[in-house]
Amino acid sequence: MTMTEFLRAASKRERAEVAERCGTSVAYLYQLAGGHRHASVLLAARIEAHTDALASRAQGRLRQVPGRTLVVHPELYKSPVSERA
């Protein structure tokens, strides 16, 4: 799921929760989704981990946002979340 898809599908409360847990703002998440900014590796890892945790509670409505889609050099990104089969 892309960041844009995640933000569209998530409720206002869920968007705020992800932003707060990642130490950023909802507005910055929208800038990342629009490609106006790139996340640091640390922020991308936090977003990946927290969207994964939220997705596990959302009963299939939401999915994890891969951190590699948010950074400048995705080939160098290492996921903090184990790959799901």
Beta strands in the chain (DSSP E): none
Tokens 């946002």, residue located: 65
Q: How many other CB atoms are found less than 10 A from the CB of residue 68?
A: 16
Its pTM stands at: 0.88
81: confidence class by pLDDT, cuts 50, 70, 90 = confident
48 touches 29 (CB < 8 A): no
C-alpha to C-alpha distance for 33 and 2, rounded to whole angstroms: 8
Q: pLDDT by residue (tens digit) across 8-50?
A: 999 999 999 999 999 999 999 999 999 999 999 999 999 999 9
**pLDDT per residue over 60-75, tens digit each?**
999 999 999 999 999 8
